[in-house]
Structure 1
Amino acid sequence: MNCLYLPLNYSDFPVPRQDGPLGGNGNGVSGGTVAGIVVGTLCLIILIVGFLWWWGYLRRGATTELDLNGLELNTGSFTLRQIKAATNNFDIANKIGEGGFGPVYKGVLPDGTLIAVKQLSSKSKQGNREFLNELGMISAFQHPNLVKLHGCCIEGNQLLLAYEYMENNSLARALFGPKEWQLELDWPTRYRICIGIAKGLAFLHEESRLKIVHRDIKATNVLLDKNLDAKISDFGLAKLDEEDNTHISTRVAGTYGYMAPEYALRGYLTDKADVYSYGIVLLEIVSGMANIADRAKENQFVLLDRAVSMKITGNLMELVDPKLDSKYDIQEMTVVINLALACTAISPTNRPAMSAVVSMLEGRTVPQNFAVEQSRSMTELDRDKMMKQLENTNESQIEEMSIPYTDSSTSAVDLYPVDRFSDYLQNRSNDTNKLLS
């Protein structure tokens, strides 16, 4: 193999400068190396800033505070990092329930305050509108018989509500949940619970600056604190009550078994719909039974129809929960059962106002003569309609349907428009996805 040899002339090669550390060929560093160090440092800084932003250190003011102030909400705010710390990163061991909104976790704030954190589930049938509704409604009220909201977290695509922790969970679980969760509620405690729920509703309907129809009063949404005092929760379906219109709603939502007939079948919504639901809860408190649809007997709700039948035959005391073992005040029991029947009257005009219910329960007014005008007055056509709707409904879930009425006026309005909030959440979600990509 032939090789070409070229003589080397060292004078043809440039000589490195010796006048500085960057130009030396001993301990000096080349320009390319310096550029690499600078670029690497900048990348590291960007990564650190992005990490801090992702965990909520740098975006607190730019997300929650700004947008919550824009909505004029009277509540505090938490970062996602704070909520994760309180719930031990949503540890399954801290999960205390699951509702239409999503899972609920027990948490502890740094000052030792116990909270219950509701997390919007991606599978939830409730969305931004219900989240805003609940946030706006409950933050506007302070009452001993309404669950207190400590604050919320709106970060990325996360929607979280932090409530006061209710040690004894829901009335439904206490009365007819799994046996290991049921509580021994004596009659004085049950009677106090009846009064507590009534006071909460009277406040919403008549005493607060904003008149509210809750729309989903049921035993699951009545929570019990450590003293077994009742507090109304879950305002995701609540509506502002407007008195100067036709009271027709085209968006019906609630839980079957608790929904007033005129609302479930015709979309007619007033505060008397809550009164009806309250009457059902009273029957459940008295009997220890849930008002579920009787599928063996077509077109009947087990508890309500049983109560009406016993009223007609004069055997009301047979409705009383056997666990009370006859240890109750007969006069109080009679008042509660008759009030329940009055509250569930088919005609909403025949149902008492909640302030009147409180007065009667507290003995400040003599109970009126109660008319039996309950489910027996419902036409077979109405019953058939309701049962057809029930066939496609899980009673433990919140359902929504549209009713095609030509009159589009409503008896209630959303507290906050949802369009701007939806855009905000979409932008926050997009920003989050960009960080992850």
Structure 2
Amino acid sequence: MVMTLVMQLMLLLLLPVTRVSAQEQQQPPQQVVRPSCRDKCGNITIPYPFGIGAGCFRNDGRGGFELECNDSRSTPRLTVAGNGIRITSLSIITSEARALLRATRRCYDSKGRITGRSGDTSVPLIGSHYLFSQARNRLVALGCSNLGYFVDAAGYYVSGCMAVCGPQHFIELGSCTGVACCQSTIPPAIDYYEPYVLDFTKEQTDKGIVSYSNSTTCRYVFLAETKWLTTTLTGKSEYLNRTNNFAVPVILDWAVRNVGNCSAAKRNTTDYACQSALSDCVDSKNGNGYQCNCSKGYEGNPYLQDGCRDIDECKRKEEQPCYGVCANTLGSHTCQCPPGTSGDATTKTGCRPKDNFTLALKVVTGVSVGVFLPLFMCFWLYLGLQKRKLIRTKQMFFELNGGLFLQQQISNYNGTSTGTGGFKIFSKEELEKATSNFAADRILGRGGHGIVYKGDLEDKTVVAIKKSKMTEEVPTKEFAREMFILSQINHKNVVKLLGCCLEVEVPMLVYEFVSNGTLYQYIHGSRGLDSDTGFHTCLRIAVESAEALAYMHSSASPPILHGDVKTANILLDDKLTAKVSDFGASKLAPTDEAQMATLVQGTCGYLDPEYLMTCRLTDKSDVYSFGVVLLELLTRKKALYFDGPEEDRSLVLCFMMAVKVGQHQDLLDSQVRDEMRIEALEEITHLVMRCLNMSGEERPTMKEVAERLEMLRRYHHHPWAQADANPEEEQSLLAME
């Protein structure tokens, strides 16, 4: 008992008091759609991945997420683009959509002849993100005698049931069990529905199929939501006697179905639908595909980057009862009894006043303090030893990562007349504070070499902090020398390296912050270039990127090879100025054969084939990768497509084959073909083909590429580009080798 009291006192002394400020409790309104997109059609909320209009819905090659709203009606009507299915509600929590489908109707006269029919259309969901819900729907045959069923796209029977006439009291007491109304379940993964009513002849009815006089004039077959069936249809004679058309609610299970499951989806981070860092992926229970849910303790839209927000459980006492002091925390909450009481604060009478401090308790407390004090001192001694160990570990990593050498280089550089250089060695605590301890909401992006966080330094400077996943076994002095040389790169189109942190196992790098995303996002993502200035802007970005690489190859001392040139590593600022980034694979130009041998690094689709065969990175390897970037800008297509035919997966291979047969202009983006003259198109095609040459020696230098692109950019802006050009002056602008 004494030890128990001692441990309780230790916990009370060491337990931090957490308070949630009013500012922390306030959150912006819940985001359900992409910015500038419509979020409602009438009173129906339209959450992303669904959307109305270009750029507002998830477009992964399968139909269903694009919706249309007819506002011309008195009550706006929401339908699925392409097949016209009417939607009455959408849920991203249950991954369900409620739709209205017309019942199939057949009406007969006293001689068994058809007098009216409607609702014979099929409902195809093939190739879309929808499937009919097996758990939430039933097939219903209404009226008697009636055999209702439906078939799949190949015409095969899927499900059905038969309703016959019976005494009235069976109809009133039954639950659609076969007397005038029957129901049946449907199989899973149904993506096609074509209903039928089997017509009975008068001879068949005379033989006993219809043995009562209360047969119905009209008979129906339809899919219906199970809840609607039990609450609306069952036991109501007005439905049995009706002769008009009516619509029935049906539940559709939706999921992201362009891949089979979560495991496959997570391998393609570009197309991965669960954008929120606070979300989880769940395999679809009906057919192939997956769905996204906010993590436990969070709610919102997991398909948007910042869509999942913390739930304030203290404001939801019906779900999380707390009769004491409630404090909200990220993803959870705490509920404690008020001061002076103890017990279970989650029950209404769980908190009770604490007992008086009796003499026995005083004795126990005195003994406990006598035991606790030595333990407390040992604890503080342990903390002091751990702190000293941590300091020694930081110093060890600092020295192993070349910190002493780098300090010396910075000191020597600062002592020269050229200035301070601005490069700084940061402490681990500085970067933790700048990123809120590397919080998930600070993540700017993830790459093959690590995670990039947004940071706010004490002087209000906004930076990008790269926390690497792995490290190469590079000599200490060589790594520090490379970091110092990279910090001296001073070019308007190169992301500036501001500093590093060396007191961790894998050094962290601090770069200037570039605010407007990547070139990849502007070519293939949701941002999109403006249609009026798109190609001109792309051409300018290409010139700026080429000049940055040419500077690194030709003007830096020693020359620097990037090693991973791609559109995702070209950042754009608020004026869409290009900034070459991510030197995770960069190397100083090798000085001998031994230095040139290395493991192949880079990105598939951009890798120099000669580099793949020889494992030797050269400046011409960057030229090849830049050629792929140019090809992306001209075609607006991705470097690799894994979903298409095998021969069409490589953009480079497709383009080279098209050039051979003279059909390469068909691959170019329509805006490029419209805005550029044929001479300029042929010139830039020639330049791309030279960059993509299998032999590195045959490729141009980055300096020559930059000059050629600048010449093309000037030609594109020249007045002769908008009218008939003077051939001699045009030749001066497009001088070819």
Please classify the TM superposition score into its range, dividing by the shorter chain length. Answer: 0.5 to 0.7
**Out of 159, 166, 171, which is 2:519 matched to?**
171
Where do residues 380-395 of structure 1 align in structure 2 (5 Å cutoff)? none
2:650 is the alignment partner of 1:302 = yes
Structure-2 residue corresponding to 1:292: 640
2:418 is the alignment partner of 1:83 = no
Structure-1 residue corresponding to 2:275: none
Cα gap change, 1:250/1:87 in structure 2, threshold over 3 Å: closer, same or farther? closer
Deviation readout 1:206-249 (Å, 9 max, x if unpaired) = 11111222221111211112221112222222223246659963
SS for the counterpart of 2:502 is strand
**Out of 563, 577, 581, which is 1:233 matched to?**
581
2:675 is the alignment partner of 1:340 = no
Q: RMSD value over aligned CA atoms?
A: 3.8
Cα gap change, 1:112/1:329 in structure 2, threshold over 3 Å: closer, same or farther? farther
Deviation readout 1:105-164 (Å, 9 max, x if unpaired) = 11111222111111123xx4x546499487355224222221111111123435321111
Q: Structure 1 residue 293: deviation in Å?
A: 5.7
SS for the counterpart of 2:494 is coil
Distance 1:112 1:150 in 2: 14
Structure-1 residue corresponding to 2:619: 271
Distance 1:341 1:160 in 2: 38
Q: What code does the residue aligned with 1:338 have?
A: H
Q: Structure 1: where are the runs of 5+ without partners?
A: 1-32, 371-437
Cα gap change, 1:67/1:247 in structure 2, threshold over 3 Å: closer, same or farther? closer
- Name the larger-Rg structure: 2
Q: What code does the residue aligned with 1:348 have?
A: G
Where do residues 8-407 of structure 1 align in structure 2 (5 Å cutoff)? 44=380, 47=383, 64=398, 67-71=402-406, 75-121=423-469, 124=470, 126-127=471-472, 129=474, 132=479, 135-136=483-484, 138-157=486-505, 159-177=507-525, 179=526, 181-184=527-530, 186-242=534-590, 245=593, 249-292=597-640, 297-298=645-646, 301-322=649-670, 326-327=674-675, 332-363=680-711, 369=736
Q: What code does the residue aligned with 1:229 have?
A: T
Cα gap change, 1:111/1:272 in structure 2, threshold over 3 Å: closer, same or farther? same
More strand by share: 2
Distance 2:659 2:490 in 1: 38
Q: Is the 8 A contact 2:468 2:507 kept in 1?
A: yes
Q: Is the 8 A contact 1:176 1:289 kept in 2?
A: yes
Cα gap change, 1:267/1:368 in structure 2, threshold over 3 Å: closer, same or farther? farther
Structure-2 residue corresponding to 1:420: none
Cα gap change, 1:298/1:70 in structure 2, threshold over 3 Å: closer, same or farther? same
Distance 2:593 2:519 in 1: 35
Q: What code does the residue aligned with 1:91 have?
A: A
Q: Is the 8 A contact 2:683 2:736 kept in 1?
A: no
Higher relative contact order (CA 8 A, sep 6+): 1
Distance 1:262 1:59 in 2: 42
Q: Structure 1 residue 202: deviation in Å?
A: 0.9
Distance 1:240 1:329 in 2: 40
Deviation readout 1:317-337 (Å, 9 max, x if unpaired) = 433334668345665554333
What TM-score results when the alignment is normalised by the length of structure 1? 0.64
What TM-score results when the alignment is normalised by the length of structure 2? 0.40
* Bigger mean CA offset, 251-260 vs 318-327: 318-327
Q: Is the 8 A contact 1:170 1:223 kept in 2?
A: yes
Q: Structure 1 residue 278: deviation in Å?
A: 0.7
Cα gap change, 1:308/1:368 in structure 2, threshold over 3 Å: closer, same or farther? farther
Q: Structure 1 residue 339: deviation in Å?
A: 1.4
Deviation readout 1:52-105 (Å, 9 max, x if unpaired) = 995x8x999897599424145653122222112211221211111001122111
Q: Give me the identity figure in percent.
A: 31
Distance 2:384 2:451 in 1: 32
Q: Structure 1 residue 309: deviation in Å?
A: 3.4
Distance 1:176 1:281 in 2: 12
Q: Is the 8 A contact 2:609 2:694 kept in 1?
A: yes
SS for the counterpart of 1:326 is helix
Cα gap change, 1:50/1:223 in structure 2, threshold over 3 Å: closer, same or farther? same
SS for the counterpart of 1:172 is helix
Cα gap change, 1:262/1:40 in structure 2, threshold over 3 Å: closer, same or farther? closer
More helix by share: 1
Q: Structure 1 residue 351: deviation in Å?
A: 1.0
Q: Structure 1 residue 341: deviation in Å?
A: 1.4
Q: Structure 2: where are the runs of 5+ without partners?
A: 1-368, 411-422, 715-731
Q: Structure 1 residue 45: deviation in Å?
A: 7.8
